[in-house]
Chain A
């Protein structure tokens, strides 16, 4: 089966691989490009970037999103910044160093060639965004400013206040509309993908539901690109937008695309803590705050005093204590686990004792309030709006929350999934982050996949199908898939049980958070699998959805998404159970060092787990990870 997992890494030394690929890649002349149409699902940085760039190249593009406008995609919410190996700070940065930091940050569970390409293309990406009018932060003299992020010791993060994702997304969205005006892109907002159509073993189209009137629609294309983001809403409470879902990648999985490293999900250390059971969302506070904020808990359990009344010597700056060389800028997986350790031992703060302090007192004393305001003003404002507390005067309370999915559809070097003609870009693929993503690498990967890589690799597939007959929506396969979708919807609507969709989502979230988040073990994962089976069974017999399929029906939308999350949860637990080692965000309690750090087992688990769907069962394929240029080391941030 191993031939199914050809990663297509090009020949040559690491630094020449991408160039060698491009030299050998086959081209399509402009007249023929016009005849080829491409579906892009999702309009975030990856989706909008790809759709706009493919349209510039001359392809006929259709772009879909479930939101009311392409500008809402969740890339918009990334706050802190985007990394690039520009070495503007003259602090010893280079492509090689960025490559190494990212590979190490991912605990050596990603491909060298992919990660090197990510670092290599980071610098031209900043040029690109500056050209698009992104108002990055600047020095008085007019040059670009950088700051640090977790897991690195150089300053390579570019930012636009605490709204970097928004600024990049608005740039990508405006490029998308530029190409709409040029009549090269058609945009379908409020359309949700419900299945993928596969003809003769290739992806040839999609079935969507028009969320305004409920109509099912068929779209045919020569290639389908998924750019549908992450799946951490499987935990229900997460930093993601409420609508973020796994449906597109899950349907792709069921149609033959492999799912890689599903259990590698990142828990972000600095979100706002949960305060009530009715909560629908955990708001992220950017990691950039850790540049100047210091994290601590009281040294005394159940400390009754307010934070400002606790003297210095009675505070435990636990990250600085445990990881003196990286301190508050330890990578996310490590910072989250360290917070969990303190909270579990009873040192947590806040009403539910589920938070730690993030304190700016020293930074304000050192740099002055104006500088701190300039750097993080909007984050402090946001904090005040949500909590009612002024963080210039007392420390923020923060807590770990489900955030990013390193796992996703398995893709080769060309970003094609194991289903020919189906591509996955941005967060919905597994590619570059290994078992843990470094801060400010997410906007980077989404953008690079969309703007730079896919437009240079998709031609290699399309050139071979130029002679093939164009697919049409009259093909019997479209008929078949559409009727399957319709049956799925009808089945949900006829259950007419007694409990709401949210009820089941809360149940699923509890199990996933308890057993498949920051800390995992065999017994817990096994019990999670049976609990999820039970919740799924109960969902399909007792869920109640009002309204019909032929109208705008937000409750039905939620139910369709949850039906897939319930299956994804099983795959995540299966994957976490199978991987008997700890690496990055995947921490198996059975495999830890004496100091409580992750214990990787390179002899047995140095591979990418790629799961195949087979009639309701999950079958594992392994893509061996070989390290030719870097020797995997024990990740040390002490």
Chain B
């Protein structure tokens, strides 16, 4: 199988970037998309060129480190899938494939296809936790949580922090990411004590980081590898409004 990649190359965060074409032979349909890029990189090394920088770690869709904008879509042509789970069988022989980094003001490019997503960590830092010290816990079954509540919290908690929601949103909004964490913790009894503070401070940080506002286009939930639904954002907004009234 043979394809042409058009890949964004940018030497460092202040450099000017550009698309460069690479014709790649010898691919197979079984290869993952990242393995195809690995293959290209080995070829580049042998031709004495610098390798393309892109991110990955677990390559099984859970760590959230990979993330490429492929042919105009976050994580490629399929919904609800990470880049590392995409395989070359999703493309045709002779295809031209355009590969870009996540595009968002809050995610500056570091090199080639790698961006800085530390803004997500800083949002978590503003309350994406329960303030309890190691050693202070009560017996686990002393807190009863109905299956429905636990399942709903788990649905939100499944977020892998990849940033596809931001990358695909025309406003580069981080509302889906932020809402998933707020709703995970605020819907559980353990998270109630700090619920209002959390809703206010995490959303404030989200705005400070330069993410755009949510205009409910629904683009994010289409790409989310964990299928976190957009209703989370409505729930977050309700929680924040309530928190502002209640203090």
Tell me the A residues contacting B by CB distance below 8 Å. Answer: 49, 52-53, 56, 67-72, 74, 76-77, 86, 88, 124, 126-128, 130-133, 135-144, 160-161, 163, 165-167, 170, 173-175, 177-178, 180-181, 187, 189, 212, 241-243, 275-276, 278-281, 283-284, 382, 385-386, 388, 451-452, 455, 498, 500-503, 544-547, 551-555
Contact = CB atoms under 8 A, between A and B. Distances in A.
Contacts, number: 217
Contacts of B12: 551-552
Q: Would you list the 9 A-B pairs with minimal beta carbon distance, nearest first?
A: A142-B144, A174-B129, A131-B137, A127-B137, A135-B154, A241-B57, A281-B59, A135-B153, A178-B129
**Which interface residue of B48, B51, B53 has the most chain A CB atoms within 10 A?**
B51
7 contacts: A77-B63, A127-B138, A135-B184, A138-B147, A281-B60, A500-B46, A546-B44
B121 A177 contact: yes
A173 B124 contact: yes
Given A138-B146, A388-B89, A552-B114, 15 more contacts: A71-B121, A74-B57, A74-B58, A76-B62, A127-B138, A135-B188, A142-B146, A167-B157, A174-B129, A178-B129, A212-B111, A280-B34, A280-B35, A385-B61, A555-B45
Given A133-B185, A174-B124, A76 B58 contact: yes
Interface string B178-217: 0000001100101100000000000000000000000000
Contacts of A143: 141, 144
A189 B120 CA distance: 13
A278 B138 CA distance: 50
Interface residues of B, number: 78
B63 A130 contact: no
Interface of B: 11-12, 28, 30-32, 34-35, 38-39, 41-42, 44-46, 48-51, 53, 55-65, 81, 85, 87, 89, 110-111, 114, 116-118, 120-121, 124-126, 128-141, 143-147, 150-151, 153-154, 157-158, 160-161, 184-185, 188, 190-191
A500 B45 contact: yes
Contact of B118 (A69, A283, A385, A502): A69
Given A69-B121, A276-B28, A500-B45, A546 B51 contact: yes
A385 B85 contact: yes
Contacts of A139: 147
A127 B143 CA distance: 10
A130 B124 CA distance: 19
A458 to B, nearest CB: 14
A53 B134 contact: yes
A345 B243 CA distance: 66
A124 B120 CA distance: 31
Contacts of A69: 65, 117-118, 120-121, 161
B137 A128 contact: yes
Nearest to B185: A133
A349 B116 CA distance: 44
B191 A500 contact: no
Contacts of A177: 121, 124-125, 128-129
B174 to A, nearest CB: 14
B139 A138 contact: no
Contacts of A144: 140-141
A141 B157 CA distance: 21
Contacts of B89: 388
Contacts of B60: 77, 281, 283-284, 382
A184 to B, nearest CB: 12
Contacts of A555: 41, 45, 51
